[in-house]
A and B are shown apart, each in its own frame.
Chain A
Amino acid sequence: MKILLVEDEAKIADFVCAGFKERGFSVDHCDNGVQGYEFAAQGAYDTIVLDIMLPGRDGLSILKGLRKVGNVTPIILLTARNELDDRIEGLNLGADDYLAKPFFVEELIARTQALMRRVSGERQNVLAVGELRLDRIAHEVTWRGQTVDLTSREFSLIEYLMRSPGNVFTRTQILEHVWGYDFDPSTNVVDVCIQRIRKKIASIGSAAEGESPIESVRGVGYRFRKASS
């Protein structure tokens, strides 16, 4: 999996690159638009993460240029500028997704993975971690072979956690991914939702408290229990 990051702000580039690398991506980084376009035009990337405000050549122009020469590499735009207008223009120009600054690297990675799944033809429709199985197409979750009836929020929450078992997600990260960034960060909706999922699973599988696939990390958030192999 090869990612191209075009971002002029060094500190942002640092943690984005680090985040991708931790997940096993390989990342190339350019800090200006001209070089960014040259790299992107080679066409050897699975996804391009493109900042809009760049020295040399701005992100929208790079996007336009790539699409014009028939380059269809999935592109995620990043911007701190007038986000609505950029989003509209970017999507019209053929960007595949859009993330406004400030953003979570986890979210960027999740979206990158989603994009790549889409491009590769939805190969990974079923996630299975431990005794929990999740079918994205059938929109169905089973625990020890029995169906757990989840609402759409609960489903997308558990999918988000399942994609990175053992990884801690803060409440705000979960909130932003499942509910969108406009939800009040002080809300306890995440905790309530997790409790409901746990209850639903427990009611089926007669699993003890400690056996829940979703673990709490005190004061921080939640993580999906790694499959004990």
Chain B
Amino acid sequence: MITSFRLRLALLSALLSGLALAAFGVGAWWLIRDSKIDRIDGDVRVYAEREAHRQRDSAGWRHTVANLLANLGLHHPDELIVLIQDGDGVGYFRSPHWPTGLDDAQWPWPQATTPALSPEPRRDDPVDARRPPPMEHAPDNDLPHLPHLPPHPPPHLPPYPPPDGMLEPLASPPPHLLQNAPPPGPPPATLTLARTVDGHQWRIGLAVTARSRIAIGVDTRSLDAEMNGIRVAFLVAMPLALLVIGVGGWLFSSQAMRPLKKLIAATRQVTAEGLDSRLSSQNEDREFAELIEVFNGMLERLERSFKQAHRFSADAAHELKTPLAILQGQLERAIRMAEDGSAMQEELSSILDEVRRLSTISRKLLLLSQADAGRLNVHREAFDLSKALADLLEDTRMLAPQLQISGEIQPNIRIAADGSLLRQVLHNLISNAIKYNVEPGWIRISTALTPGRVEVRVANSSPGIPPAERGKIFERFFRADPAHSRHIEGVGLGLSVSREIARAHHGDIVFKVEDSGAVEFALLLPRD
């Protein structure tokens, strides 16, 4: 399936115009051919009709044939056939190039009109009693009454020397035929025929008078050649036209997609930091202007609710801090004033622990809301990562003496970073490694330096993170299912906060490898 709208548009427009062009081409081709055939038919009929009354000797007929060739626009003598017979179908003149397969015996010659019965020419006159039977019944030796040869060729037919050997009269007309020319009779009956011989189609005009009949036939081969030329032109032009249309459609759709592309680019820009950006709908088409306005409206609402949500969590965290500070300060004081080792002091101390827990959560929430708003600013100063990791390694050994803890920390890794935030990240990674361990387990803390980057890897033995939970480990308040293990402290904000801090340093935290029984997280930080 084609997923690009642009490509679909271009292909569809090419397909539709292709179909339209093909239909037009076929139709036009047929119409042109039809009208040309009609014209040929009309021509052969008119010339047959005109020549039916003429009386000529063979020289005169030779002229006539030459003239016919010119008038019909034919290029080659064998494209024209002429047959002259008397009224009974006895041949008098036949073109020398007569195609062998063309059998004139089977032609449906029309009936000649009889002057006595019908002075007005009517083609559908009933059969004249004196008319000879159709040609196949005519006796071959019966000489026809041929038209009388006029003294001069018709003035409108210019003399035209026929090519050599073009005309070969069957026989010389008998002298009496030339002398006893009858007066011009009623107009001859005419008919056109189509006959195909050896792949050549002949359009034949027949004209019959009372005493003679004439057939003029034209080979359509030059018409076919012409039509073939037109077809080739179509076949060549159509792919070109389709290509132009397709490319045009592609370009046009690209033009049409431009506002959409702008919208996509703008939507990409819309992050928590850039919610205030708006698109200009000026100079855009009406439909796109509307889309842009709707989009801007949506952005407006999004920005408003986002700001509200952000302000809410920032305000909430802030509003929590003052009462927490009072609570903590007063508890601290009460503990100091209580008798050392008393039940009261112990009670107060346990309350204080809970207050600290609340403070930690509110601080993390505030940190996250700042990160969401893109305002997690870090105060960069020289930070000795190696030293911080060494301290952390020591803490880990204290916190988890039951685990086998190893560290491969390169000395003197100094970066520009916010120390208090980064310590928080490192501590979070290590405390997770302790919390989600299996006994008897191990933890391995190592560093790797690449150009421009430092990587802190914290790996530990682990029951493994189920595949379904792997995508969620950076989610807020997510905690790996502790059902199968011991109760695990924490609220599930650590990793998401840590990642925000890493990102604010232009670094990241990635979940790196998990082979069977081990988990590794890597903190990536830029190095100058």
Give the residues in chain B near A16, CB-CB below 8 Å: 329
Give the residues in chain A near B395, CB-CB below 8 Å: 153, 179, 189
Q: Which one of A36-44, A85-93, A111-119, A141-149 is at the interface? A: A85-93
Q: Is the CB of B420 within 8 A of A85?
A: no
Q: Which one of A68-76, A98-106, A123-131, A206-214 is at the interface? A: A98-106
Q: Is the CB of A189 within 8 A of B325?
A: no
Give the residues in chain B near A91, CB-CB below 8 Å: 379
Q: Is the CB of A172 within 8 A of B356?
A: yes
Q: Is the CB of B345 within 8 A of A12?
A: no
Give the residues in chain B near A100, CB-CB below 8 Å: 321, 363
Give the residues in chain A near B359, CB-CB below 8 Å: 102, 181
In chain A, positions 174-208 with a C-beta closer than 8 Å to chain B are 176, 179-189, 192-193, 196
Q: Is the CB of A83 within 8 A of B363?
A: yes
In chain A, positions 208-229 with a C-beta closer than 8 Å to chain B are 217-221, 223
Give the residues in chain A near B363, CB-CB below 8 Å: 83, 100, 181
User: Chain B's nearest CB lies how many Å from the CB of A153?
Assistant: 6
Q: Say whether chain B's binding surface is mostly helix, strand, loop, or mixed.
A: helix
User: Chain B's nearest CB lies how many Å from the CB of A174?
Assistant: 12
CA distance A217 to B332 in the complex (A): 15
Interface size on B, residues (CB 8 A): 52
Give the residues in chain A near B305, CB-CB below 8 Å: none
User: Chain A's nearest CB lies how many Å from the CB of B515?
Assistant: 28
Give the residues in chain A near B355, CB-CB below 8 Å: 102
CA distance A152 to B325 in the complex (A): 29
In chain B, positions 413-435 with a C-beta closer than 8 Å to chain A are 420-421, 423-424, 427-428, 431
Partner of A182, one of B335, B401, B424: B424
Interface size on A, residues (CB 8 A): 54
Give the residues in chain B near A223, CB-CB below 8 Å: 340
> Is A25 in contact with chain B by the CB < 8 A criterion?
no
Looking across the interface, which residue of chain A has its beta carbon closest to that of B321? Answer: A80
Interface centre among A15, A22, A103 (most CB of B within 10 A): A15
Given the interface pairs A15-B333, A91-B379, A102-B329, the reply to whether A153 lies near B353 with Cβ below 8 Å is no
Q: Is the CB of B352 within 8 A of A170?
A: yes
Give the residues in chain A near B431, CB-CB below 8 Å: 184, 187
> Is A167 in contact with chain B by the CB < 8 A criterion?
yes
Q: Which one of B66-74, B119-127, B240-248, B369-377 is at the interface? A: B369-377
User: Chain A's nearest CB lies how many Å from the CB of B357?
Assistant: 6
Q: Is the CB of B377 within 8 A of A83?
A: no
User: Chain B's nearest CB lies how many Å from the CB of A104?
Assistant: 6
Interface centre among B335, B352, B359, B398 (most CB of A within 10 A): B398
Q: Is the CB of A82 within 8 A of B329?
A: no
Please list the 7 inter-chain residue pairs (A to B) with the smallest Cβ-Cβ separation, ordered nearest first: A219-B346, A102-B325, A80-B321, A101-B325, A182-B424, A15-B329, A102-B328
Q: Which residues of B contact A (CB under 8 A)?
A: 314, 318, 321-322, 324-330, 332-333, 335-336, 340-341, 345-346, 349-350, 352-353, 355-357, 359-360, 363, 366-367, 370, 375-379, 391, 394-395, 398-399, 401, 420-421, 423-424, 427-428, 431, 489-490
